[in-house]
Amino acid sequence: MEGMSAMQLIDESAVLWSAPEAERADRPLLVLLHGYGSHEGDLFGLAPHLPLQPVLASVRAPLRAGPGYAWYELNGATNESRSRGADAAARGLLHWLDGVRATSVGLLGFSQGGAMSIHLMRHAPERFAFAVSLAGFVVPGEAPADARLAELAPPVFWGRGTHDTVIPDSFVEATQRWLPHHVTLTERIYEGVGHSVSEPELADVLTFLRAQYA
């Protein structure tokens, strides 16, 4: 049962906000989830390029990993341990969101954070308006609300480069098979781009986000 209830708590003092608390009420929230070994300051750099409607909250992952942080361990990871770790991180994020007031919640993540943006929906699909997964993937295994997610089919943007050597091909192929049956998918593939976010991708993300906030 330990695996069922494990939770990785979020450090609330490490969250970067785009607006002070007094200016967050009655606004949508866009949660930014960084990649493995990175930190909350990474995706916050996208703020000038993102729509003005949502309050941005860039969250620090709970585990130390090299110079930064991780949502779940990769060293010696099996698909089972990835699934367990992602579940614990998702529960921690949902627990943190319980204390946040917002008119809606969207998700934007890169790499492991992109995987978490999808994984959060697989735990509580009704709590999220949409997800953006940049160079992300679907965590192997089943999650508690996969069937409910398929019923609700919320909008998901999934972008990746053809030269991304970080995410295994098997993960990409599994994600390609899985997403269309569980979400309303906008998939974009960028020729010659590695494990990064290109300007054309950022423009496509902005178009997607503007449609969500229209």
Residue 156 has pLDDT above 90, yes or no: yes
In this prediction, residue 76 carries a pLDDT of 82
pLDDT digits (tens, 9 = 90+) for 158-179: 999 999 999 999 999 999 999 9
Give the strands of the sheet with 130-134, arranged side by side: 16-17, 55-59, 29-33, 105-110, 130-134, 155-161, 184-190
- The domain defined by 10-20+47-213 folds into Rossmann fold (3.40.50)
Residue 2: which pLDDT band, with cuts at 50, 70 and 90?
very low
> What does the alpha-carbon distance between residue 148 and residue 177 come to, in Å, rounded to a whole number?
18
Residue whose C-alpha is closest to residue 136's, from 31, 32, 35, 30: 35
Residue 106 has pLDDT above 60, yes or no: yes
Tell me the DSSP string of the chain: -HHHH------GGG-EESS-GGG-TTS-EEEEE--TTB-THHHHTTGGGS-SSSEEEEE--SEEETTEEESS--TT--HHHHHHHHHHHHHHHHHHHTT---S-EEEEEETHHHHHHHHHHHH-GGG-SEEEEES--PPSS--TTHHHHHHH--EEEEEEETT--SS-HHHHHHHHHHGGGTSEEEEEEETT--SS--HHHHHHHHHHHHHHH-
Compute CA distances 76 → 72, 73, 112, whole Å.
11, 8, 16
In this prediction, residue 25 carries a pLDDT of 86
Mean pLDDT value across the chain: 95
